[in-house]
C-alpha cells in the first residue's frame, strides 16, 4: 500500500490549435477501469466527428493503458502517459481529442502536440496529495463517546447515531488502524465492537 498518492480533483478541459488541427484535452479522476470505459464511450458519442480520440490512464495499483486511436505509433497515447508521469499522478484518465485541420504535422511535431495537450490539461487541473484510509464502524457504550472521539482525532468522523447501540462511522488512517483498535479495546475493556472495511480509500488530510 502506498503511503500517499497524487491525483486530480474534478474535470478539466483545454484547447489549442497546431497548424489548423484542434486538440481538446480532458482530464478525469477515476477509481477503476470501468470508469475509463464509461467515460470513453461517452466521449466517442459526444465527439463522434473527431478524427482521433487518444488517451492514457494510470490507476493506483499501477495498471495503465494508452491508445493512439489510429495516429502513428508512439505519437499520441504514450506521449499522454508521459505527461501523467511527469506530474507523478495516478487514478487519472487523460484524453486528447483531435480534429484534423488539413495539414499533416509529421511524427515529431505530432507527438509534441499531443504531449502539450496532455501537459496543459494537467497543469490546469487541481492536483491533490491524498492518503489511505479504512472505513470503520465502532459500537460502544455512550459513556465512552468523548474518549473515543479523542482517540479518533486524526480520523474523519462520518456520522454517529443509534443503531442497536451507539455507533460511530469514521475513516481512519490505514497506518493507525492497529493502534486505534488497541486503544479502543483497552479503554472500553473489550466492551466495544469494531466493524472493519478493508477497502482502501484515498482521502485528503484535514
Instruction: Write down which residue in 63, 98, 124 finishes a domain.
Output: 124
Average pLDDT over residues 121-133: 94
DSSP secondary-structure letter at 153? T
Strands (E), the chain: 5-9, 12-18, 21-29, 52-58, 64-67, 92-99, 126-140, 156-162, 166-173, 193-203
Claim to verify: residue 120 and residue 135 sit in the same structural domain: no
Angle between helices 77-87 and 107-123 (to 10 degrees): 40
21, 107: one domain:
yes
Confidence of residue 154 (pLDDT cuts 50, 70, 90): confident
Q: Is the dihedral of CA 162, 165, 166, 169 positive or negative?
A: negative
Query: Does residue 62 share a domain with residue 91?
Result: yes
181: containing domain:
131-203
> What's residue 88's pLDDT?
95
CATH of residue 154: 3.30.70.240
pLDDT confidence bin for 140, thresholds 50/70/90? confident
Do 152 and 113 belong together in one domain? no
Residues 142 and 159 in one domain: yes
Q: Are 101 and 140 in a shared domain?
A: no
Same domain, 111 and 17: yes
Judge whether residue 190 has pLDDT over 90: no
- Name 178's Cβ contacts closer than 8 Å, sequence gap at least 6: none
Which residue, of 91, 124, 157, is where some domain finishes?
124
Give the chain's domain count: 2
Residue 164 confidence (pLDDT) above 70: no
Q: What is the pLDDT of residue 194?
A: 87
At 50 the pLDDT is: 97
Structural contact between residues 1 and 129, judged by C-beta atoms closer than 8 angstroms: no
Highest-pLDDT range among 12-21, 139-148, 149-158: 12-21
Amino acid at each position: 500500500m502506498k503511503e500517499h498518492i497524487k491525483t486530480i480533483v474534478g474535470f478539466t478541459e483545454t484547447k489549442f490549435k497546431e497548424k489548423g488541427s484542434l486538440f481538446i484535452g480532458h482530464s478525469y479522476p477515476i477509481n477503476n477501469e470501468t470508469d475509463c470505459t464509461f467515460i470513453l464511450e461517452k466521449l466517442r458519442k459526444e465527439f463522434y466527428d473527431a478524427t482521433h480520440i487518444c488517451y492514457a490512464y494510470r490507476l493506483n495499483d499501477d495498471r495503465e493503458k494508452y491508445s493512439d486511436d489510429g495516429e502513428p505509433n508512439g505519437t499520441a497515447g504514450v506521449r499522454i502517459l508521459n505527461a501523467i508521469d511527469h506530474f507523478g499522478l495516478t487514478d487519472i484518465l487523460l484524453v486528447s481529442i483531435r480534429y484534423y485541420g488539413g495539414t499533416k504535422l509529421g511524427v515529431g511535431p505530432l507527438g509534441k502536440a499531443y504531449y502539450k495537450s496532455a501537459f496543459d490539461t494537467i497543469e490546469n487541473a487541481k492536483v491533490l496529495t491524498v492518503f489511505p484510509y479504512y472505513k470503520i464502524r465502532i459500537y460502544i457504550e455512550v459513556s465512552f463517546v468523548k474518549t473515543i472521539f479523542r482517540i479518533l482525532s486524526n480520523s474523519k468522523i462520518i456520522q454517529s447515531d443509534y443503531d442497536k447501540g451507539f455507533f460511530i462511522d469514521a475513516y481512519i488512517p490505514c497506518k493507525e488502524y492497529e493502534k486505534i483498535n488497541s486503544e479502543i479495546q483497552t479503554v472500553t475493556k473489550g466492551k466495544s465492537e469494531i466493524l472493519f472495511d478493508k477497502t482502501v480509500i484515498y482521502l485528503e488530510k484535514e
